[in-house]
């Protein structure tokens, strides 16, 4: 397994946010983590990327225990994250935002920039535009492109479709699939459970800090309990 989270517990003070969470992501997969707001999805990603410390349990990545590794070291090891809310630097241009994603790397970044601009032609057109003046969809493209600039082995995506128009949502999910086809493993958390399950290989359902289901994504897409709890009308889109 490329990434293995085993029996991870995380606390915010006296509040336990994650309760024995275990999940695996194999090389080349798209794995999605679905659940209601407050279930612990973002905490899970932040714990994997090193932004949140764990109380107990372990995280193994590419054969190494990274449970206590600093966040920037995890980026160097091959974990990239596009955060919830995008986190675009508003006073920097698109180009400068992308370069920030390669802060751990040395040498010529031209080929990487070309690849990102190839995935997101809109960003190529607007490379000199300030990040803070861009639309939500464009900012999401910047956030994903910036994460790709570190050349991650696994890309952590936190709610990439949040607040986007349906046409843009379809575009973002198509790009996620293309990123995966080009060799990057993806761990995706997403409120739009229907869309996420349609592109994922496998899925986990998180409820109040615990994994309550895990299965092939197609099986969960057709699971009546999952449909009732998380899909609803979204299944029609």
Say what the pLDDT of residue 105 is: 80
At residue 166's C-alpha, the angle toward residues 125 and 199, to 5°, is: 95
**Residue 187's closest CA among 158, 213, 146?**
158
d(CA 71, CA 95): 23
Torsion sign across C-alpha atoms 154, 172, 84, 137:
positive
- Give the three-state DSSP class for 121: helix
d(CA 10, CA 228): 28
Q: For the chain, which residues score pLDDT lower than 50?
A: 233-237
Helices (H), the chain: 41-49, 71-77, 94-100, 110-119, 121-125, 136-148, 166-181, 193-199, 217-221, 224-226
Q: Cα 43 to the chain's mean position, in Å?
A: 12
Q: What is the pLDDT of residues 48-59, one digit of tens each?
A: 999 999 999 999
Q: What is the pLDDT of residues 176-220, one digit of tens each?
A: 999 999 999 999 998 889 999 999 999 999 999 999 999 999 999
**Residue 176's closest CA among 165, 159, 110?**
159
Domains in the chain with CATH codes: 3-87+154-236 (3.40.50.300)
Say what the pLDDT of residue 231 is: 77
Say what the pLDDT of residue 232 is: 62
Say what the pLDDT of residue 172 is: 92
């Amino acid at each position: 397994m490329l990434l293995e989270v085993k029996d991870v517990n995380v606390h915010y003070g006296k509040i336990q946010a994650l309760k024995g969470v275990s999940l695996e992501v194999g090389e080349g997969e798209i794995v999605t983590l679905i659940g209601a707001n407050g279930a612990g999805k973002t905490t899970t990603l932040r714990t994997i990327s090193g932004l949140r410390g764990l109380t107990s349990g372990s995280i193994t990545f590419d054969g190494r225990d990274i449970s206590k590794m600093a966040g920037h070291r995890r980026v160097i090891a091959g974990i990239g994250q596009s955060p919830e809310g995008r986190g675009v630097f508003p006073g920097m241009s698109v180009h400068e935002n992308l370069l920030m994603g390669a802060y751990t790397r040395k040498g010529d970044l031209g080929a990487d920039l070309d690849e990102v601009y190839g995935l997101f032609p809109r960003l190529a057109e607007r490379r000199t535009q300030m990040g803070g003046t861009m639309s939500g969809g464009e900012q999401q493209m910047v956030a994903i492109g910036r994460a790709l600039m570190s050349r991650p082995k696994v890309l952590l995506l936190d709610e990439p479709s949040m607040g986007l128009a349906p046409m843009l949502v379809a575009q973002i999910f198509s790009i996620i699939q293309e990123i995966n086809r080009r060799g990057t493993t993806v761990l995706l958390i997403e409120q739009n459970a229907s869309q996420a399950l349609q592109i994922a290989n496998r899925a986990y359902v998180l409820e109040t800090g615990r994994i309550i289901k895990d299965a092939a994504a197609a099986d969960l897409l057709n699971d009546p309990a999952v449909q009732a709890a998380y899909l609803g009308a979204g299944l029609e889109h």
